[in-house]
Structure 1
Amino acid sequence: MRLVVIGVNHKTAPVALRERLALVGDDVNVALKQLEALTDGSVIVSTCNRTEIYALVPQTLATSNPASQALVSPSAGAQVTNPAISPVSNNGFSSSATLSSAAISAHIIKIKTWLATFKQLSLTEVDPYLYVHRDTHALTHWLRVAAGLDSMILGEPQILGQIKRSVHLAQEEGTLSNQLGWVVDQVFAAAKRVRNETKVGAQAVSLSYAAAKLVTQIFDDLPSRTLLVVAAGEMNRLVATHIAGLGVGRVIICNRNPERAEALAAELRNPNRRVEVRTLQELPQVLADADIVSSCSGSMDLLIDKTMTVQALKHRRYQPMLMIDLAVPRDIDSTISRIDDIYLYSVDDLQHVIAGNIEQRRQAAVDAELLVSQLVVEMDRRFQVRQVGKDIEQYRSCTQGQVDKLLHESLAQLQQNNATPEAIITELSRRLTQTLTHAPSKLMRKAAREGDSELLDFVVSGLQDAHRSHR
């Protein structure tokens, strides 16, 4: 089907080169427009870990050549002389319609050269790091990426959303052709099956995601719960974003730097969530309000000690509290874990959970890879069914053109009285038979000449079945 993938990722290229090849912002729009001249549809996926072009090689590389008409010509002895044209079309992904491997390879070099030029780099500088996948291999790669099997963090779900945004942008720019759009739909449906039918993305493998999973295991009715964020650094920002995304109704941020706290508060506020900013000195007073505490400061001293926690718990009438200490050195006194109704997790505790989950994901990835292989076969078959309808339509159209030509010549002879009607009809019948049997006869001769008995038997039996069905 002429599908190719050209790109770099965290496995093939250093971060310095990935940064230089990144396509973001207006670059993507301009790049998609320029790719219109080189492809029959394209999608660009560019993240911190990968930059990839998914495209269809233009069919016009084959159909623009007059030699392609030899397949439908009924003239005796017609031969296919253009090596870029396959004499027998195999409609699977591996055939790439009527394009030869050499034609596709040459066009891939054009796309590579364009990418290097677009990013103001030399092809020799970029080419060693670029990977290329074609046909079923390209489809398999796309599905693995969408399912999170090719990500730095195995099974992570964000990449599917990033691909969907990339596809939406291609639609807006008008570079998503109908055929490429069909492939995209198949990939999305298959990726959903991989994630639903395997456990490759079921377990938490990041600190922030693991913290959010703990919240759901301990608390329900999250809109009535309060999250206390102690320090507004990057790690706590990720944790707060994940936990707030669960539907927590109130967030309190305690931080030394009020500007950073306000910036985080602005990210977390919405009509259904109240967000407050307090000083670090107010921590003992607000601790009692917190159902969930996430702390990750750079302090060398404890910020939450046992006495402060006991007082807060008493004020809360011993309602349970989840405390997550991501700081090294610790922010929360470790002896607090021995207090009833307190669930305290350190960064080591979460890392231990994550390590076990990563191993579970790796085991699930085996099942996921097998499912990917099965789904690619299914998509290939669906494509063949879809494509063969177009091939049949084209074949019938070409044959009808030949028949119309013969009929027009016969009618002209009747009008000119150049022969008797019986002779004209007899000659028309002979020429129609020659026209309609030319292609299958040529195919049988080719199979016999190449010793392909399986293809020969298939064609002969198929023609015999066709004749029997019309008796």
Structure 2
Amino acid sequence: MRLVVIGVNHKTAPVALRERLALVGDDVNVALEQIETFTDGSVIVSTCNRTEIYALVPQNPTHQSSASQISGSSSSGSQSVDSQAAESAEQSLSNFVSSTNVSAAAMSNHITKIKTWLADFKKLPLADIDPYLYVHRDTHALTHWLRVAAGLDSMILGEPQILGQIKRSVHLAQEQKVLSNQLGWIVDQVFAAAKRVRNETQVGAQAVSLSFAAAKLVTQIFDDLPSRTLLVVAAGEMNRLVATHIAGLGVGRVIICNRNPERAEALAAELHHPDRRIEVHPLQALPQLLSEADIVSSCSGSMDLLIDKPMTIQALKRRRYQPMLMIDLAVPRDIDSTISRIDDIYLYSIDDLQHVIAGNIEQRRQAAVDAELLVSQLIVEIDRRFQVRQVGKDIQQYRACTQGQVEKLLQESIAQLQQDNTSPEDIITELSRRLTQTLTHAPSKLMRKAAREGDSDLLDFVVSGLQDAHRGH
């Protein structure tokens, strides 16, 4: 398959090294342009947890032989031409049997070249990074890529963000015109297989982060999300993540209450969407705004309660007792815990969410077993499709090469008919001999090689194939 993966991730390298090897912004464009010069296509995936290069190593030069090698050569006699044609046919048949795999030595050389390039590009000694780099080849590389895309190799098992990051990396490779047809075909197979893993197993079904768990609660309690209002109390990092997840569900209105107006405005800009109303208010306006919220997420770091029981009861009255979901991520708490006893209030603390997450992580681990089994099956299917796809190209190349040899010998015979006094019968007889010698040389030599090396499978394949061909005639 010629696919190779070289990289580091959160399992193999400390964060300090991952930061130094990260390829972001313009670095990726330059890197793709440079790596194209010694690969047959590449994709670079670089996140906070991994930097990986997916590339196709070039084919062996001998694989490029074709009829043009014969037609461009000079002929000092029929024996020389027959020998060249036979050698070309032998190479074509060998390619037909062996597909496009490169030798182990060639693969190792290209892997070393990519490693050296990466070290030079990041201005780091190769000896410093080589112990942390992992390398996967051919179907092992394909398996790794699928596991990454399906979230099975992530720090948070089953997380969906990595698939989007890979898609963005592929899109960038397409824009840079470094995604070859064959690598593009492999990418399509990986995306389709990753979708099946996520659809046919439960590996990504359970919430395993606070922000994701909060968003799942929203979908379990409310429908018609465009008509719902989210109240964000404090615009710190944790609340930013929660607000991003909940707003991404399609909530139609977001109210941000924060002491610092600059931070609130920054969050408002991040959550901006044409179909979403966003308002920014000072924290003092919280009592008046509480009744307008269907969903409340609070994480302020305040030492005092921000939402107490009387404030909540008053808000419920103004809402005509429509249900409210309150998520308190603060330690100490922002929301009075006794509010949970009020009807129509669903209050979850950070401890509640972490308890849910702990159970969900265990469920994901169990689902990961099914996902790994499915990955193994899908890799076999992809490899079979690849072989079928590739053998068609090899057959086409072999036929083209053979047709070129026949055409050359035929033209030489026609020229001899026009110039010599040799009888047509003798010329046709000679043409038949040369064609037979040319077209049987390759399979004969291949059979001798298989017998000499004890490769009974290859010998049986060639012999039975030739016998079937003769019976077909």
TM-score, normalised on structure 2? Answer: 0.92
Q: Paired residue for 2:396?
A: 393
| Match of residue 347, structure 2, among 344, 347, 355 | 344
Deviation at 1:458, TM superposition (A): 2.7
Residue 75 (structure 1) aligned to one of 83, 95, 103: 83
> How far is 1:49 from its partner?
0.7
Say if 2:211 is the partner of 1:208: yes
**Equivalent residue, structure 2, for 1:354:** 357
1:434 Cα deviation from its structure 2 partner: 1.6
CA offset at residue 457 of structure 1?
A: 2.5
Tell which has more relative contact order, 1 or 2 (C-alpha 8 A, sep 6+).
Answer: 2
Aligned residue among 114, 119, 122 for 1:111? 114
1:169-220 per-residue CA deviation (whole Å, 9 max, x = no partner) reads: 1111111111111111111111111111111111111111110110111111
- 1:30-179 map, 5 Å: 30-59=30-59, 61-63=61-63, 75=83, 88-89=94-95, 97-179=100-182
Q: 1:273 is matched with which residue?
A: 276
Q: After alignment, is 263-272 or 288-297 more displaced?
A: 263-272
2:28 counterpart residue number: 28
RMSD over equivalenced CA pairs, Å: 2.4
Q: Structure 2 counterpart of 1:16, which letter?
A: A
Tell me which residue corresponds to 2:252.
Answer: 249
380-389 or 401-410: which moved more? 401-410
3-state SS of paired residue (2:311): helix
Q: Does residue 1:181 correspond to 2:184, yes or no?
A: yes
The Cα shift of 1:450 comes to 2.4
Aligned 8 A contact 1:32 1:44 in 2: yes
Does structure 2 conserve the Cα–Cα contact (< 8 Å) formed by 1:403 and 1:432? Answer: yes
Letter in 1 for 2:415: A
Distance 1:76 1:282 in 2: 89
- How big is the shift at 1:465? 1.7
- 2: CA distance, partners of 1:36 / 1:415: 51
Letter in 2 for 1:56: L
- Cα 1:86–1:370, aligned 2, differ >3 Å: closer, same or farther? farther
My pick for the range that moved more, 191-200 or 445-454, is 445-454
Structure 1 residues 161 and 133: alpha-carbon distance in aligned structure 2, compared to 1, 3 A threshold:
same
Deviation at 1:65, TM superposition (A): 8.9
Query: Judging changes above 3 Å, is the alpha-carbon distance between structure 1 residues 136 and 298 closer, same or farther for their aligned structure 2 residues?
Result: same
Q: Distance in 1 between matches of 2:321 and 2:375?
A: 50
CA distance in 2, matches of 1:115, 1:17: 13
Which whole-Å CA distance do the structure 1 matches of 2:376 and 2:41 have between them? 25
Inter-partner Cα distance in structure 2 for 1:389 and 1:234: 54
Equivalence for 1:421: 424
Is the CA contact (8 Å cut-off) linking 2:99 and 2:391 kept in structure 1? Answer: no
SS in 1 for 2:204: coil
Within a 5 Å distance, the mapping from 1:268-307 to structure 2 comes to 268-307=271-310
2:412 to 386, 406, 409: 409
Contact 1:410 1:424 in 2 (8 A): yes
Deviations 1:301-323 (A, max 9, x none): 21111122122112222111111
2: CA distance, partners of 1:239 / 1:204: 13
What is the Cα deviation at residue 324 of structure 1? 0.5
Superimposed CA distance per residue, residues 13-42 of structure 1 (whole angstroms, 9 cap, x where no aligned partner):
111111111111111111111111111111
Shift of 1:227: 1.0
Of 225, 235, 251, 1:232 maps to 235
- 1:462 is aligned to 2:460: no
Distance in 2 (CA, whole Å) between partners of 1:36 and 1:60 is 17
Deviations 1:46-67 (A, max 9, x none): 111111111111225444799x
Q: Which amino acid aligns with 2:417?
A: L
Question: How far apart, in 2, do the equivalents of 1:255 and 1:421 lie?
Answer: 100
Q: Is this contact kept in 2: 1:86–1:100, CA < 8 A? A: no
Identity %: 85
Which of 196, 200, 207 matches 2:199?
Answer: 196
SS class of match (2:454): coil
What secondary structure does 2:55 align onto?
strand
Q: Which amino acid aligns with 1:75?
A: S
**Residues of 2 paired with 1:63 and 1:88: CA distance?**
9
* Aligned-partner SS, 1:323: strand
Q: Distance in 2 between matches of 1:306 and 1:417?
A: 113
The code of the aligned residue for 1:411 comes to I
User: Larger deviation: 406-415 or 36-45?
Assistant: 406-415
Q: Is the 8 A contact 1:61 1:103 kept in 2?
A: no
1:452 and 2:455 correspond? yes
CA distance in 1, matches of 2:394, 2:227: 61
Contact 2:7/2:135 (8 A) holds in 1? yes
Aligned-partner residue type, residue 2 of structure 1: R
Structure 2 alignment gaps of length 5 or more: 71-80
Amino acid across the alignment from 1:341: D
1:278 Cα deviation after fit: 1.7
Residues 204 and 210, structure 1, Cα contact 8 Å, conserved in 2: yes
1:102-132 deviations in whole A, cap 9, x for unaligned?
A: 0110111111111111111111111111111
Mapped partners of 1:61, 1:435: distance in 2: 22
Cα distance between partner residues in 2 of 1:378 and 1:210 = 35
Structure 1 position 74, deviation (Å): 5.8
Relative to structure 2, which stretch is displaced further, 168-177 or 460-469? 460-469
Alpha-carbon distance change, 428 to 78 in structure 1, aligned in 2, over 3 angstroms: closer
Deviation, structure 1 residue 76: 9.9
Structure 1 residues 98 and 244, CA gap change in structure 2 (3 angstroms):
closer
- Using a 3 Å threshold, how does the CA distance of structure 1 residues 435 and 77 change in structure 2: closer, same or farther? closer
Partner of 1:326: 329
The alpha-carbon deviation at position 96 of structure 1 amounts to 7.4
Q: Who is 2:262 aligned against? A: 259
Task: Map Cα deviations across residues 403-422 of structure 1 (whole Å, 9 max, x no partner).
Answer: 22322332233233353221
Consecutive unaligned residues in structure 1, runs of 5 or more:
none
**1:17 is aligned to 2:17:** yes
Task: Give me the TM-score of the superposition, normalised by structure 1.
Answer: 0.92
The answer to whether the 8 Å contact 2:93/2:398 transfers is no
